[in-house]
Structure 1
Amino acid sequence: MAQPFFGRRDSEPAGLRPGAVSNQANPSSSAQAQTSAARQALDSSAINPVPSTAPGKEPGSKLTVGPNIKLKGVEITDCDTLVVEGTVEATMDSRVIQISELGAFKGSADIDIAEIHGQFDGNLTVREKLVIYATGKVIGKIRYGKLVIEEGGQISGDIQVGSAGTVAPASTSSVNVARPDVQRVA
């Protein structure tokens, strides 16, 4: 059986491994203590397993594009959550997009929930809820189910409520607080 690629190296001294207890006087007792501690951890996890996620929630696939990373010319599929901290130029169909304050997305996105702290430029269809925070800016052809804009958040372009088939024009110059599908957040 092959060793895992990121496994520990046996040639590495015990004192240099993270979490290892160094016992220079008696190296064999150090190894026995580590083996005993590992057995206790395995035994206790078998008796009292700790769930890796909150009960009732399935873990989804998540892609994070970190700061100073540029991802261009791709189609993102089978991704539950896209977190944009860098720059992404792509098309995607997903459940959630989260754009951080310094993040930017350019392209086309069909999603359930959008949380925009940074910039989105392109075609955005949000089936459920679009949230634009104070530092967020959305430009382009925008379709949404519900819209929340924090004071300072910006939205411009061809903006319509509902899916592409059933649309009603929304005001591009200001948020109409009287509309039930638009919430103003102070």
Structure 2
Amino acid sequence: MGRSPFPTPPSPATPAAPAAPARPAAAAAAAPGGRRETSDRRTLVVGRGISVQGSIQDAERLVVEGTVEASLLQAAELSVAPGGVFRGEIEVEDADLAGTIDGTLTVRGNLTVRATGKLIGKTRCRRLQVEDGGQITGHLEMITGDMPPRPASLETSAPAVEKSEETTPSV
């Protein structure tokens, strides 16, 4: 049959590249504050010119350079590159937006909208930074304290708050 179409891997006795420096097990598992380092996170990169539809699960970090349409996605970190588009519903810890998000976005931590970023739809976030040129269109709600999300039925039937004025007698 001849040769295999796949190159043979190097043998363990002769390393092809120098070994990476050893890291302590505790440092590899978690960074300070209990968070895993970015390089240790399960990352999904949707490259330029690639379109993905459906459900994405178990990705801790999502980098969108192409187009993603997802019904519900939960991740630790979202990054939408210039020219990248995310359509659908997503809940993340932190988001960096240089492309477009069209849908519902919940960010429990920091949301950064870069100069080329466009946010369309409904957004909830704890902290927001918008660079000059960044665009937000739709409903924006800031998350304060440890409040759980309000049910939709309460948003439409919230009682009106009356303003009372105190009068002081003039002398």
Task: Using structure 2 for the length normalisation, give the TM-score.
Answer: 0.67
Equivalent position to 1:85, from 43, 53, 65: 65
Q: How far has the Cα of 1:51 moved from its partner?
A: 4.1
Once residues 52 and 99 of structure 1 are traced to their aligned partners in structure 2, the CA distance between those partners, rounded to angstroms, is: 32
Aligned partner of 2:22: which letter? Answer: V
- Return the letter of the residue paired with 1:104: V
Deviation at 1:77, TM superposition (A): 1.5
CA–CA distance in 2 between the matches of 1:52 and 1:78? 25
Say whether residues 1:160 and 2:141 are aligned partners: yes
Amino acid at match of 1:125: T
Following the alignment from structure 1 to structure 2, what is the Cα–Cα distance between the partners of residues 39 and 49? 18
Give the drift of 1:75: 1.4
Whole-angstrom CA distance in 2 between matches of 1:115 and 1:64: 14
Aligned to 1:180: none
1:39 to 13, 21, 29: 13
Task: Supply the distance in 2 between the matched residues of 1:111 and 1:103 (Cα, whole angstroms).
Answer: 17
1:142 aligned residue = 123
Name the CA shift for 1:64/1:52 in 2 (closer, same or farther; >3 Å): farther
Give me the whole-angstrom Cα distance separating, in 2, the residues matched to 1:133 and 1:9. 45
* Structure 1: 5+ residue stretches without partners: 1-5, 11-33, 167-186
2:106 to 121, 125, 128: 125
RMSD between aligned alpha carbons? Answer: 3.2
Q: How many Å apart are 1:110 and its aligned residue?
A: 0.7
Secondary structure, in 3 states, of the residue corresponding to 1:152? coil
Tell me which residue corresponds to 1:15.
none
Number of residue-to-residue matches in the alignment: 133
Matched, 1:50 2:22: yes
Amino acid at match of 2:59: C
Is 1:102 the equivalent of 2:83? yes
